[in-house]
Every structure is written in structure tokens, then in C-alpha cells.
Amino acid sequence: MQHNSDISISQYQQMVDEWVKTIGVRYYGELTNTAILMEEVGEVARLMARLYGEQSFKRPEMALTAHQDLADEMADVLFVLTCLANQTGIDLTAALHKNFEKKTSRDKERHANNPKLKSGDTHE
């Protein structure tokens, strides 16, 4: 598969499953993968705090690759989340469609009527 080609969520779930069963040997247990997911989300948070928040990098040269590192960490989050979906029998495509419909139905007027969103201010 080419690196620049689009893949569907379903294709990605299949790719991850194949990778885990061949290169990864087997899935970690669900609780282990949940802990790994939290670790990966923490790595995204650490980079976000330094790239977009007030924290600075311990070594200034770390900032040079930080955006690439952020992309890699986000991909790690998606990989582990996909592992958990595969392990628990979740069809992420169906779950995403259902979740998007829920958000659209629930929030169709809520956000439009939120004065905090009209100000353009991104800080609370």
C-alpha cells in the first residue's frame, strides 16, 4: 500500500489486525492496551503543552522535530485505540457514523447558541 493513499477506517482496522498477528505476535490484554493508550495520549498532551501552550521544551533543539513527533504520537494513539476496537469487536466505521449522528442531533443548536463560541476567544 502506498503511503500517500487514503485508507478507510475499516481498512486500517484490518491492517492493524494483520500487523498485530504477524509482526506483533499477538494483542496485549485489553487492560494493558488501555494503559498504553493513556501513555500515548499523555505524550500527545506533553507535546501540545509545549507547541501550543505555555510550557517550553527542556532543550530548545527538541522543538525542531516537535510537529513531526506530534503527528507520530497521534498515530500511536490511533493505533492503540484501533487495537482495542479490534479486541472488543467494535466496528469503528459504524461507531463513528453513529457517534457523528448523535453529536449532530444533540448539538445542532447548542453550539450555535453558545456565547463563548461567538467571541472567537479560544481560552476559557
What are φ and ψ of residue 18, in 5° steps?
-65, -40
- In CATH terms, the fold of domain 9-91 is Helix Hairpins (1.10.287)
pLDDT of residue 111: 82
3-state secondary structure of 57: coil
Q: What is the mean pLDDT of residues 89-114?
A: 91
Number of neighbours of residue 18 by Cβ within 10 angstroms: 11
**Domain limits, the chain:** 9-91
Instruction: State pTM to two decimals.
Output: 0.84
pLDDT of residue 59: 85
Alpha-carbon span 26 to 79, nearest angstrom: 14
For cell 484501533, name the residue.
82
Q: What is the pLDDT of residues 4-22, one digit of tens each?
A: 799 999 999 999 999 999 9
pLDDT level of residue 122 (50, 70, 90 thresholds): low
